[in-house]
Amino acid sequence: DVKVTQSSRYLVKRTGEKVFLECVQDMDHENMFWYRQDPGLGLRLIYFSYDVKMKEKGDIPEGYSVSREKKERFSLILESASTNQTSMYLCASSQRRDSYSNQPQHFGDGTRLSIL
Amino acid sequence: AQKVTQAQTEISVVEKEDVTLDCVYETRDTTYYLFWYKQPPSGELVFLIRRNSFDEQNEISGRYSWNFQKSTSSFNFTITASQVVDSAVYFCALSEALDSSYKLIFGSGTRLLVRP
């Protein structure tokens, strides 16, 4: 089974702090993603990466950055946390698209982040 | 523009009832993929099914079945003889073949409550 592990289930930080959310997958997947989930909005893509040291902006990248130094690890960074970044953050990974289809994404348990 | 609409915010049924979760999508791509995910109270998103746009056959997996109709741009999910363990938030998602980000576009989710 695919295992995507997020470092924290719950996290409380203060406004202005630099926050790191870590994600590790054990299936040698090429693609990794960070989403945030808010009530009534579903999941929205923040950043994704399709290879080591590669990153691409998603739909809502403002206020975030990412790092992918190793294939299995994808970090989300809140440079200066603000209260509107209080949310549930979900990491996902998938195999690279093959000739036939986009592969399903496999998700971690999520990190519920509160910014005070 | 791509969009996924899950009009039912919340559904409540009594155990053993059948329930259908609706999903309507919009895309200009001719090749695309549709997914359903389940999010139990524990938080992780569990992949249920992937369907590509060229395969309109309905699928059944145990008590779960999916009805894909391109003519109405719908990909509905039916649970037969619902059980309390089916209580969760269910997300429908779309991925387009021409989108190099491989991102999933999620609906806002339907919360299903199955009462004993």
CB of B32 within 8 A of CB of B50? no
Residue of A nearest to B107 (CA): A42
pLDDT tens column, A74-111: 999 999 999 999 999 999 998 876 655 567 889 999 99
φ/ψ of A100, rounded to 5, equals -105, -25
Is A1 a residue whose pLDDT tops 70? no
Distance CA B88, CA B39 (A): 6
Tokens linked to B98: 């021409």
pLDDT score for B116: 94
Nearest-by-Cβ selection for A104 from B47, B107, B108: B47
Q: Across chain B, what does the average pLDDT equal?
A: 92
pLDDT at residue A97 in the model: 64
Tell me what pLDDT residue B26 has: 95
State which amino acid sits at residue A111.
Answer: T
* Minimum distance, in Å, between the CA of residue B109 and any CA atom of chain A: 6
Q: Does residue B44 contact residue A108 with C-beta atoms inside 8 Å?
A: yes
**Which pLDDT belongs to residue A87?**
97
Average the pLDDT over B105-113 and give the result: 94
Cα separation, B40 vs A4, in Å, equals 16
- The pLDDT of residue A95 is 84
Q: Give A-chain residues touching B37 at CB under 8 angstroms.
A: 107
Q: pLDDT tens-digit profile of B21-41?
A: 999 999 988 889 999 999 998
Percent of chain A with pLDDT over 70: 93
Band of pLDDT at residue B79, cut at 50, 70 and 90: very high
Distance in angstroms (rounded) separating the CA atoms of residues A8 and A2 = 18
Instruction: Give A20-29 pLDDT, tens digit per residue.
Output: 999 999 988 8
Give the closest residue to A38 by CA, choosing from A106, A5, A85, A74: A85
CB A56, CB A47: distance < 8 Å:
yes
